[in-house]
Amino acid sequence: MPNIRKNGLTKPYAPLQMITWFIWPLLVIQFLFFVSPVLPIAASIPCTLVHMFFALASAYYSYYCTVTDPMDPLLRRHLAEQKNSNNSEDGGSNTLDQEFKQERTGFLFSFFKPKSYAKSAATKGGGVDAETENDDDASETKHCWACETQVHSHAMHCKYCDKCVAHFDHHCQWLNNCIGEANYPYFYAILWAITFMLLIHLVLMIAIVVDNFVASEKRGDDWFNAGVYEAVVSVNLLFCVLTTIALSLVLQLLWFHLGLRKEGLTTYQYIVRDSAQKREQSRKEAAEKSRRLVAIANAKQNKKHCLAWRLDVCELQGFNCCDPLKPEEEEADNEKQESPAS
């Protein structure tokens, strides 16, 4: 499998990934130069510390979510054994390749690691957790024709990374990495950290802009003693718009994943379920339309013009309460519900 991608730092980099490398430092720099210095000293220090805490937390979680390899453990074992077999044929060592055993440790803010990660993550940076892997051996497997090996039934093959991912959620273009069981806790933490970072940033910028318009003393004049509050207000207004857009998108994504966690679904499972529901709805609508056309034709043939008119109007206007077909549909649904019980 020559095209397999190990993690989000494997080239080629995604365009959205490189955009985040520009946006995150820009937001931090703008806060440090155009928000923090303008605030009163009593508010500037605590607000800056809290904002930088969430900024660094988002960077930390983003880093680990990007470098973590969410590959299915069975696929990792297959690749390691394949590599080991090749090394043995070449007279090399019989030990598993260190690329698949090495675990990343010692990052500066390692105490931020979510506790749930220790239970859910089978790997980190390509490592294999033996206990987790042994437990997974008892689960059902399936054959992946792309990976050419058996993988767990909950794994899905990612076309971007060209590998099967354990408990596949989605492929994140912003991180250029698949999100699965191994790094989903980090991804979820990213959403919370960025949400609080952007929220604090936006609230403080709005307060500065409003204060400069309503207060007699222009706080922007204190900006590095330059006396250019118009420039400070303009920059903050511009970033208010950009931060509002970013915050709305992140909040929408956070709300979506809160719902997924409540239902115990992954993004992929939600998409599959939603597609199935849409197909079922389309099937029902097509069947209802066919029945309605037959009913209208029969009504006209029997010269029941009022009934034909009701059938036609109820379809166009959506008057379900007086739809002649509605009682028949409810009766058919009741029969379907009663048939399994009987």
- Closest CA relative to residue 285, chosen from 318, 321, 327, 324: 318
Token pair 């903050």 is at which residue? 236
Which phi and psi (to 5°) does residue 96 adopt? -65, 145
Cα separation, 65 vs 113, in Å, equals 11
- 172 given a catalytic annotation: yes
Are 165 and 70 in contact, with CB atoms under 8 Å apart? yes
Per-residue tokens: 262: 């409540």
What residues does 15 pair with on adjacent strands?
none
- Which of 164, 172, 178, 314 is flagged as catalytic? 172
Tokens of 229: 């509050």
CB–CB of 66/177 below 8 Å? yes
Which are the contacts of 78, defined by CB distance < 8 A and separation ≥ 6?
A: 147, 149, 150
Give exposure, 54-79, as e/b (b: 16+ Cβ within 10 Å).
bbbbbbbbbbbbbbbbbbbbbbbbbb
DSSP at 222: G
**Which of the residues are catalytic?**
172
